[in-house]
Chain A
Amino acid sequence: DQQVKQNSPSLSVQEGRISILNCDYTNSMFDYFLWYKKYPAEGPTFLISISSIKDKNEDGRFTVFLNKSAKHLSLHIVPSQPGDSAVYFCAARPNFGNEKLTFGTGTRLTIIP
């Protein structure tokens, strides 16, 4: 049972436009949500997170939105740059047992110059 779902395996966006990556979850006990970025032949690196008590968190070009009632979060990247081309993983952890982070299947973002 996939508790964290990323239904779009891939996404292509023109450079300078907005990239929107989506993530859905099923476990209402998830307390924190994170986005990781992964380049080929490297490990994932942390990008941005959001607590369940918030509905938005912004860090430079990256903004994460959380809709708890819909169990949905999204990552907005604006403006998109060629260096943003990577695989993006959504992850979530419960409010107890914070050592367990559950990842989605990932979305491959390609920025077209």
Chain B
Amino acid sequence: NAGVTQTPKFRVLKTGQSMTLLCAQDMNHEYMYWYRQDPGMGLRLIHYSVGEGTTAKGEVPDGYNVSRLKKQNFLLGLESAAPSQTSVYFCASSFASSGANVLTFGAGSRLTVL
């Protein structure tokens, strides 16, 4: 049981290049999320999805796009990378339930934009 898997784990981009981060979960979770972690900023929500075919903006969505074509996958795209997008990106998933809504996180993807 892999849980939440993120690929790639590391990537270096030049300003203006594009790339896609892939997140896959095998827990049949309805909700999926993309967060970024920056020093002194904690974890900030970029985009999220409450089900297949749906996406919504989080706290810091600018410069990113997402797609949830299949329930188990959530893609995060950068169309034109900027140095400000240098960060560690975490994907997470959870059941669509009331209560604490515990998120299960992937191991992270470290992106550097030069």
Contacts and interface: CB of A to CB of B under 8 A. Distances in A.
Interface of A: 4, 6, 9, 32, 34, 41-46, 49, 51, 89, 91, 93, 98-106
Interface of B: 4, 31, 33, 35, 40-45, 48, 50, 58-59, 90, 92, 94, 96, 98-108
Contact of B99 (A32, A43, A100): A32
Nearest to A9: B40
Given A89-B43, A105-B40, A106-B42, A42 B108 contact: yes
A101 B45 contact: yes
A101 B43 CA distance: 10
Contact of B42 (A34, A42, A103): A103
A54 B96 CA distance: 23
Residue with the greatest number of chain B CB neighbours at <10 A, chosen from A43, A93, A100, A103: A43
A99 B101 contact: yes
Contacts of A44: 43, 90, 103, 105
Contacts of B45: 100-102
Contact of A89 (B42, B101, B107, B108): B42
Nearest to B106: A43
Contact of A100 (B40, B48, B90, B96): B48
23 contacts: A32-B99, A32-B100, A32-B101, A34-B100, A42-B107, A42-B108, A43-B90, A44-B90, A45-B105, A51-B100, A93-B100, A98-B98, A99-B33, A99-B48, A100-B48, A101-B33, A101-B45, A103-B35, A103-B42, A103-B43, A103-B44, A105-B40, A106-B42
B102 A46 contact: yes
A43 B107 contact: yes
A53 to B, nearest CB: 12
B108 A46 contact: no
B105 A99 contact: no
Contacts of B41: 105
Nearest to B9: A41
A43 B101 contact: no
Contacts of A4: 42
